[in-house]
């Protein structure tokens, strides 16, 4: 009897708690400008634990991978030595071209493109579930990080900051279905929209913004800079598969992001995009379209 009554109490309490929590989920389902004080404190407490564990996991993973690839290293070393020799020669040639380019730009009175002002950060945690693609970085508002700052890796665009505490920042990755990035096809300069692909985890969908699009496999997509969040010219990825639209009208494509999200460890937060890169498409580029 007592057991039955306790079971009923649990069920009622659970139902009430679930209803209250669903209301909280609804309230916090949209994007928020700032974290609640409780979230702020908990994240600050969790950050050192996550940093320590992430470093250990990263070290173990690195060691295992190194051991596994030991047999390949000898062959790879030989090939790399040849590659280094070739690249050294090429580098000298490119350096000459770069210096010539600088001289010509100065002659034409062009503003030199300054690199973006960035902040290096370490990825210390992933979203606890498997359904949302966010990552926590170990730099926050205390380091000058703000909401909607773009985040890149050395390979390409990663995403944007959606919330930040004093020492952590949550980044919505471009592979998340809620993410949308304005892009431009490098070959044709056509404007496209790059969204996270809900069908294929880790991939993106490219949607054309114009009727006459001629996407082909291998096309590189760069950020257009038109959305106001992502600076212009950052590499997003490469088209790997074309998806024909209904009745053959319109087209989309599947994009493989340039950045490796599965093994994400370091990232650069763009604190201040350079003014020249940040400009929207120039008239010349618009004419080309």
User: 80 vs 71, 72, 83, 133, 154, CA distance in Å?
Assistant: 15, 12, 5, 35, 20
User: From the CB of 9, what's the least distance to another protein, in Å?
Assistant: 10
121 within 8 A of 269, measured Cβ to Cβ: yes
| Residue from 126, 128, 148 nearest 136 by CA | 126
Question: Which CB atom, from 57 or from 87, has the smaller least distance to another protein?
Answer: 57
Distance of CA 152 to the CA centre of its chain: 6
CB 148 → another protein: shortest distance, Å?
A: 15
| Contact positions with another protein (CB under 8 A) in 37-66 | 38-39, 42-43, 46, 49-50, 53-54, 56-58, 60-61
Q: Are 217 and 190 in contact (CB under 8 A)?
A: no
> With respect to another protein, which residue has the nearer C-beta, 184 or 264?
264
Query: Does 162 sit near another protein (CB under 8 A)?
Result: yes
Q: Of the two residues 110 and 131, which places its CB atom closer to another protein in the complex?
A: 131
Q: Does 178 bind another protein (CB under 8 A)?
A: yes
Interface pick for another protein out of 121, 124, 185, 252 (rule CB under 8 A): 124
Residue 269 touches another protein, criterion: CB under 8 A? no
Does 138 participate in binding another protein (rule CB under 8 A)? no
Question: Would you say 255 and 202 are in contact if contact means Cβ atoms under 8 Å apart?
Answer: no
Residue 265, token pair as written in the block = 């460890």
- The only residue of 12, 22, 80, 99 in contact with another protein, by rule CB under 8 A: 22
If one asks whether residue 115 binds another protein (CB under 8 A), the answer comes out as no
What is the size of the binding site for another protein (CB under 8 A)? 54
Residue 28 in contact with another protein, rule: CB under 8 A: yes
Q: Which is nearer to another protein, 22 or 84 (CB)?
A: 22
Return the number of the residue (124 or 215) whose C-beta is nearest another protein: 124
Binder among 37, 129, 218, 248 for another protein (CB under 8 A):
129
For residue 254, what are the β-bridge partners?
A: 205, 241
Q: State both tokens at 161.
A: 């900051």
**What is the residue-wise DSSP string for 45-66?**
HHHHHHHHHHHHHHHHHHHHHH
Q: Cα(239)–Cα(81) distance, rounded to whole angstroms?
A: 31
Read off φ and ψ for residue 22, nearest 5 degrees.
-65, -35
How far apart are CB 65 and another protein at their closest, in Å? 10
Handedness of CA 228, 230, 231, 233 (dihedral sign): negative
The 193-222 contact track toward another protein, x by CB under 8 A, reads ----xxxxxx--------------------
Is-contact 148 229, C-beta < 8 A?
yes
Residue 99 makes contact with another protein by CB under 8 A: no
Output the CA–CA distances (angstroms, integers) from residue 131 to 54, 127, 140, 175, 177, in the order listed.
Answer: 20, 8, 24, 11, 10
User: Judged by CB under 8 A, which of 100, 131, 210, 216 binds another protein?
Assistant: 131
**Binding interface with another protein (CB under 8 A):** 10-11, 14, 17-18, 20-22, 24-29, 35-36, 38-39, 42-43, 46, 49-50, 53-54, 56-58, 60-61, 124-134, 136, 162-163, 170, 177-178, 197-202, 262
């Amino acid at each position: 009897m007592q057991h039955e009554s306790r079971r009923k109490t649990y069920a009622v309490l659970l139902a009430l708690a679930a209803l209250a929590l669903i209301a909280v989920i609804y309230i916090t389902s949209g994007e928020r400008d700032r974290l609640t004080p409780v979230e702020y404190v908990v994240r600050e407490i969790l950050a050192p634990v996550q940093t320590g564990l992430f470093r250990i996991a990263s070290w173990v993973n690195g060691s295992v991978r190194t051991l596994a690839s030991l047999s390949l290293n000898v062959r790879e070393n030989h090939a790399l030595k040849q590659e280094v020799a070739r690249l050294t020669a090429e580098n000298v040639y490119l350096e000459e071209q770069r210096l010539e380019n600088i001289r010509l730009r100065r002659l034409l009175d062009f503003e030199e493109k300054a690199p973006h002002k960035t902040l290096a950060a370490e990825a210390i945690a992933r979203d606890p579930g498997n359904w949302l693609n966010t990552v926590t970085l170990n730099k926050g508002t205390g380091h000058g990080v703000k909401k909607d700052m773009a985040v890149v890796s050395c390979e390409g665009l990663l995403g944007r900051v959606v919330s930040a505490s004093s020492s952590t920042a949550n980044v919505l990755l471009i592979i998340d279905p809620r993410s949308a990035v304005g892009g431009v096809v490098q070959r044709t300069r056509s404007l496209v929209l790059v969204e996270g692909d809900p069908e294929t985890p880790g991939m993106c969908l490219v949607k054309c913004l114009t009727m006459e699009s001629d996407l082909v496999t291998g096309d590189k997509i760069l950020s257009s800079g038109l959305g106001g969040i992502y600076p212009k010219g950052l590499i997003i990825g490469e088209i790997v598969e074309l998806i024909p639209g209904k009745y053959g009208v319109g087209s989309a494509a599947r994009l493989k992001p340039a950045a490796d999200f599965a093994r994400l460890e370091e990232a650069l937060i763009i604190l201040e995009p350079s003014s020249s890169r940040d400009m929207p498409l120039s008239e010349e580029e618009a004419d080309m379209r």
